[in-house]
Amino acid sequence: METVEEWKAERSEPLTSGLAVAQGVFYIATGVWPIVHLRSFETVTGPKLEGWLVKTVGALIAVVGGTLLAAGLRRRVSSELKMLATGSAASLAAVDVIYSPQRISPVYLLDAVAEGVLITGWCVATARARKRRSIQPPPPRYTSPEDAAGFPT
């Protein structure tokens, strides 16, 4: 009979977990808002032609947010979730910046700023993690030939 090893993710650093929680809460709130009350959402962001599409995008953003929140609270933020978080923020920021001047409300530029803060946070967290991994502990020092050979003393 073959044994199956249980996969265990490393515990995430506090900055990584905190970013996942913050982005998760932000995405859940902004994603659920148009689903719960489209009229107030449109009051702030401007009228929308396709309410169903706004709600669909909101649902997807809320799902991403829920996933990030759960991973952050468990302190199990994998590299794949970091890519999801950063990629989502970059995609939403790009849409905000590209379309805000001509097609959507300028209020979306505030969202672009928030997404930029999240992207910056993920970049800092990634750089810190890489730096921590590159620091190797010093090799053990042996005090006797027996220690060097691995003999018990």
pLDDT in tens, the chain (153 residues): 555 444 455 688 999 999 999 999 999 999 999 999 999 999 999 999 999 999 999 999 999 999 999 999 999 999 999 999 999 999 999 999 999 878 888 899 999 999 999 999 999 999 998 888 777 677 766 567 666 666 665
Tell me, what's the pLDDT at 145?
A: 67
Q: Distance between terminal CA atoms of the chain? A: 39
pTM: 0.80
DSSP secondary structure string for all residues of 4-41: -PPP-PPPPPHHHHHHHHHHHHHHHHHHHHHHH-HHHH
Q: What is the DSSP letter of 75?
A: T
Q: Where are the domains of the chain?
A: 14-136
Residue 68 to residue 27: CA distance in whole angstroms:
9
Token code pair at residue 68: 């990030």
Residue 95 to residue 112: CA distance in whole angstroms:
8
Residue 1 to residue 126: CA distance in whole angstroms:
40
Tell me, what's the pLDDT at 132?
A: 82
Tell me, what's the pLDDT at 92?
A: 97
Residue 17 to residue 38: CA distance in whole angstroms:
31
C-alpha to C-alpha distances, 108 to 38, 62, 115, 140, nearest whole angstrom? 16, 17, 10, 55
Tell me, what's the pLDDT at 104?
A: 84
